[in-house]
Structure 1
Amino acid sequence: MNDQLPGKELSKPQRLVEQALTTLQHFLHVEAISGIVLLAAAAVALLWANSPFAHSYHDIWNLPIPLRLGELGFVRPLHFWINDALMTVFFLVVGMEIRRETHEGALSKLDQAILPVLAAFGGVIVPALIYLGFNSVTGRSNGWAIPTATDIAFAVGVLALLGKSIPGNVRVFLLALAIIDDVIAVLIIALFYTSGLDFNGFIVAALGVLMALGLQRIGLGSAYAYIVPAFIVWAGFLMAGVHPTLAGVVLGLITPVRSNRPEIVPPVIRVETALHPWVAYGIMPIFALANAGVSFAGVELAGGAQFVTLGVALALCAGKPIGVIGATWLAVRTGWCRLAPDVSWGGVCLIGLLAGIGFTMSIFIAMLAFTDDKLLDAAKLGVLFGSLIAVTLGLGWGAEYAQRQRRESGD
């Protein structure tokens, strides 16, 4: 018999399922609260950058911070250490989320992953086309990828505000979609926003990866032992001309999903669980504080910059829903996929609207896309406006959808 008898220990498959559910619940809880913290940090940045103390906002992020190893010195502004170093930890957690989901989560089976994958691609292609429709000229066209990513923290946070009437499978669909969005965004950064590659840097990065794999092979479980290999990978990517934060993704993808000892939680879950609150409540709000401070007095929506703002905003609040809902409808209509139980078309519409909330990754890509401060500020303004509209539409439709779900369930 396969039934579990009362008082007996859980079987290994049951333990894995329980661990996966616990991790998912913890993830959703942290993301829901951190979305509010992230919003507060963005609001503080906007108020600060448009206050009489605006000069101090820009001065603090340009403060030079040195890193010294013996006689070697490496000096960069605080803004660099936040965007290029601290955000590596954010991408490490992203990489581990992808690793875990492909092993035992929403991306582990093709029939489970194919619908959110297709929906995510629709949510990337349509916003990019809308943006290019307004900004096909050289210079502005480089920002086509800005509206292609969904902010997991904001999207899940808004969904949490709608209460428990939203079916669990709708939450899983949104989470899978956002994670796939992150995968696509990482690939876009690697393929389209790197130039002047130095292959010696890749050799250094590969050495760091091999060191990390070697430590895993001998069973060394202390996270502190991996700091040196991680730094070598980061420095190698920086030398190579690839954005160094991608080192976090690489290290996250090679984090083991199985433990050498049955009673120990797998490293990918243990490390992600430990880092996730620090990323959600610390790193992402700091990033928002350092990058969301657009001075409205300094924004010049002229000379084409206004089309950058319009293109980004429309691509997020309209292009994302059209792409996600349209791709999902097409996949179901053609018989390639089926909607999961309890996921209605009302739920798909809610997912599409919330997918238009781009913030962390959108601003990050904007800084890679534009060196012109006018275009960069215009792009950030578009991200803020588009995301705000998406939040408003998502909450409005979500409240109606949640009320409908409560009526159908008889609550």
Structure 2
Amino acid sequence: MQDHQSISTIPILQKATDKFFSLCDRLKSIEAIGGTVLLIFAVIAMFWANSQYAESYQNFLHSEITLNIAGWVLSADVHFIINDILMTIFFLVVGLEVRREIYDGSLADLRVAFLPIMAAFGGVLVPALIYWTISSPNISQGWAIPTATDIAFAVGVLALLGKSVPSSVRIFLLTLAIIDDIVAVLIIAVFYSSGLDAVGLGYFIAGIAIIILLQKMGIFSIFPYIFPSILIWYGLLKVGIHPSLAGVLIGLMTPVFSRPNSIRPLQQIENILNEYKHAEASDPQKSVTKLKLAQRELINPIERVSYLFSPWVAFLIMPLFALANAGVDIGNVDLEMMGSMNIMVAITIALVVGKPLGIFLTTWFFIFIGLGRVPAGFNYHWLFLISCLAGIGFTMSIFIANLAFTDTILLSSAKIGILIGSSIAAVLGLVIGLWVIYSMKIKSL
């Protein structure tokens, strides 16, 4: 008697479903897909905001969603839910990426990471200075907008160039973008936050303390950490710091090792399977439960949480962010208003000129004085390509713009500048990349 159905007896619909999910898994692994989805939703937002249905777009963003849980009424509009709540998960993935790179990645060896780290700082300082120089005093608070790099878009454009791009180039860009994100988070926390609130600080400290306590107790399941994470988020909201930054803190606190155990996970699984074979009739459910727990410990918490949330971030949260923030009604932008045109021009120039200039010159300088180690397969052509791609600010730049400007016309002008600058940087990077690859092929003939 067979224990399982043979493959021939599997229903046709089930086979089709399995193929569909297999295709989804393959698509998730393609880096260019995330950036493409983000671009599609940004274009949808622009068309929606400038169409005859523009009013419905604004109604969508300001629609109230209310939850009543045991008498506790929670109410927020769609824009707040996306920008302040869902983006916390985006920042969680950023924090996990930074934690992983520090432990066992491009940031683990400071001698290797030194060059992209310095390049990132150059890519923050120069565009900020260019914006500050060009902008008028009434819009100077937007100086941090062109300092950020959108990892999804930048890596996505690089992925479009195919396998001709050396892995060292991708790692350099990733490291640079990660440092960019860290600096952007620090800028938001320091320069775009209001005064401290003692009650909020209490919630924040309580959340941190509970997470540390749970880790010391050996509780490595995700669900118990939801409550203290909410405390941290609410504490930051009350303190006056943007609450989505709670995600970064939680990501950085995520353990890099699996739950300490006297028996290795693989050995534990083998013992449970043997136990199941010899006591199958007694309590099989107990053995299966123990097997699931042991299987979980095969993967460290950082990888597990990242695997869980990364697809949601790439294919839901960031596209929703683009949909909620890229929709600028061009007809309502008054270019004659004081600072409106200025802010557009300042952001565009800072992204397209300042970002590449800062990264390229800083990297060249440290290589010239002998402090930077050049990765294998890396040259100044690839550096120029990376410098241009780093000018794609989009997600983080729009996020900072929302914090910098309360005036809707100035905010719309800033978003247009971000969209124009990021688009030029993406096209420029793609053209330079194709030229570099073509030049390499010509030389090899």
Shift of 1:266: 1.0
Q: 8 Å contact 1:31–1:152 — kept in the other structure?
A: no
> Against the structure 1 CA distance between its residues 342 and 386, is the aligned structure 2 distance closer, same or farther, given a 3 Å change threshold?
same
What is the Cα deviation at residue 73 of structure 1? 2.6
**Aligned residue for 2:415?**
380
Q: Which residue of 2 aligns with 1:129?
A: 129
Contact 2:111 2:373 in 1 (8 A): no
Structure 1 position 409, deviation (Å):
5.3
8 Å Cα contact 1:31/1:280 also seen in 2: no
| Deviation of the 1:222 alpha carbon | 1.8
Q: Aligned residue for 1:392?
A: 427
Counterpart of 1:170 in 2: which secondary structure?
A: helix
In structure 1, what is the Cα distance between the partners aligned to 2:30 and 2:344? 31
Match of residue 46 from structure 1: 46
Aligned residue number for residue 87 of structure 2 = 87
1:6 match: none
Point out the more displaced range, 217-226 or 177-186.
Answer: 217-226
1:298-313 matches, cutoff 5 A: 298-302=332-336, 303-313=338-348
Alignment check: 8 A CA contact 2:128 2:143 kept: yes
Whole-angstrom CA distance in 2 between matches of 1:273 and 1:120: 27
Equivalent positions of 1:17-28 (< 5 A) are none
1:31 CA drift (Å)? 3.6
How far did 1:66 drift?
Answer: 2.2
**Residue matched to 1:62:** 62
| Aligned-residue offset at 1:349 | 0.3
Q: How far apart in 1 are the matches of 2:415 and 2:404?
A: 11
Does the aligned pair in 2 maintain the 1:28–1:156 contact within 8 Å?
A: no
- Secondary structure in 1 aligned to 2:115? helix
CA contact (8 A) 2:63 2:77 kept: yes
Matched residue, 2:255 = 256
Please state whether the residue corresponding to 2:73 is helix, strand or coil: strand
Cα offset, 1:69, TM superposition:
4.0
Alignment of 1:226-237 (within 5 A): 226-237=225-236
The offset of 1:32, in angstroms, is: 2.2
Q: Match for residue 14 of structure 1? A: none
Stretches of structure 1 lacking an aligned partner (at least 5 in a row): 1-25
Contact between 1:34 and 1:157, CA under 8 Å: does it hold in 2? yes
Question: 1:284 is matched with which residue: 314, 318, 324?
Answer: 318
Residue aligning to 1:294: 328
Task: Work out the CA distance in 2 between the residues paired with 1:335 and 1:343.
Answer: 16
The gaps in structure 2 that reach 5 residues or longer are 1-25, 266-297
CA distance, structure 2, for counterparts of residue 179 and residue 197 of structure 1: 28
1:156–1:175: 8 Å Cα contact kept in structure 2? yes
**1:169 and 1:342 in contact (8 A); partners too:** yes
Does structure 1 conserve the Cα–Cα contact (< 8 Å) formed by 2:64 and 2:76?
yes
Tell me if structure 1 keeps the 8 A contact 2:196–2:240. yes
Instruction: Report the counterpart of residue 301 of structure 2 in structure 1.
Output: 267
Question: What residue is the counterpart of 1:156 in the other structure?
Answer: 155
Q: Is the 8 A contact 1:165 1:406 kept in 2?
A: no
Q: Which residue of 1 aligns with 2:7?
A: none
Q: Tell me the distance in 2 between the aligned counterparts of 1:30 and 1:375.
A: 36
Which secondary structure state, in structure 2, belongs to the residue aligned with residue 88 of structure 1? helix
Structure 1 residue 225, shift from structure 2 partner: 1.7
**Helix, strand or coil at the partner of 1:73:** strand
> C-alpha separation between the residues in 2 aligned to 1:171 and 1:327?
19
Q: Distance in 1 between matches of 2:310 and 2:440?
A: 31
Amino acid in structure 2 at the alignment position of 1:304: G
> CA shift at 1:209, angstroms?
1.4
- For residues 363 and 208 of structure 2, the distance between their equivalents in structure 1, rounded to whole angstroms, comes to 38
**Change in 2 beyond 3 A, CA 1:28/1:98:** farther
Distance 1:69 1:205, change over 3 A: farther
Query: Root-mean-square deviation (CA), in Å?
Result: 1.6
* Partner secondary structure for residue 330 of structure 2: coil
Task: Please give the residue correspondences for 1:356-367 in structure 2 after superposition, counting only pairs within 5 Å.
Answer: 356-367=391-402
Q: Residues of 2 paired with 1:294 and 1:97: CA distance?
A: 31
Say whether 1:346 aligns with 2:381: yes
Q: CA deviation at 1:27?
A: 12
Q: Does 1:328 align with 2:327?
A: no
**Which 10-residue stretch deviates more, 394-403 or 185-194?**
394-403
Question: TM-score, normalised on structure 2?
Answer: 0.84
Instruction: Tell me by how many angstroms 1:408 deviates.
Output: 4.7
- The normalised TM-score by structure 1 is 0.91
AA partner of residue 53 (structure 1):
Y
Residue aligning to 2:3: none
Structure 1 residues 69, 409: closer, same or farther in 2, change over 3 A?
Answer: farther
Structure 2 residue aligned with 1:23: none
Residues of 2 paired with 1:392 and 1:226: CA distance? 42
Measure, in 2, the Cα distance between the counterparts of 1:199 and 1:67: 27
CA distance in 2, matches of 1:27, 1:316: 30
Query: Which position in structure 2 is the counterpart of 1:102?
Result: 102
- The whole-number CA distance in structure 2 between the counterparts of 1:34 and 1:236 is 32
Q: Deviations over 1:173-206 (max 9, x none)?
A: 0010001100000000000000122132122111
The residue matched to 1:271 in structure 2 has which SS? helix
CA distance in 2, matches of 1:408, 1:206: 60
Q: In the TM superposition, what is the alpha-carbon distance from 1:294 to its structure 2 partner?
A: 0.5
Does the residue aligned with 1:297 lie in a helix, a strand or coil?
helix
Between the aligned partners of 2:28 and 2:153, the Cα distance in structure 1 is 11
Cα distance per residue 1:94-151 (max 9 Å; x no partner): 00100000000000111011111100000001100111112141x3000000000000
CA deviation profile, 1:16-35 (whole Å, cap 9, x unmatched): xxxxxxxxxx9994542100
Deviates more, 1:41-50 or 1:396-405: 396-405
Whole-Å separation in 2 of the counterparts to 1:257 and 1:118: 26
2:119 counterpart letter in structure 1: A
Are residues 401 and 312 of structure 1, via their aligned partners in 2, closer, same or farther at CA, if it must alter by over 3 Å? Answer: same
Of all paired residues, the percent bearing the same amino acid is 51
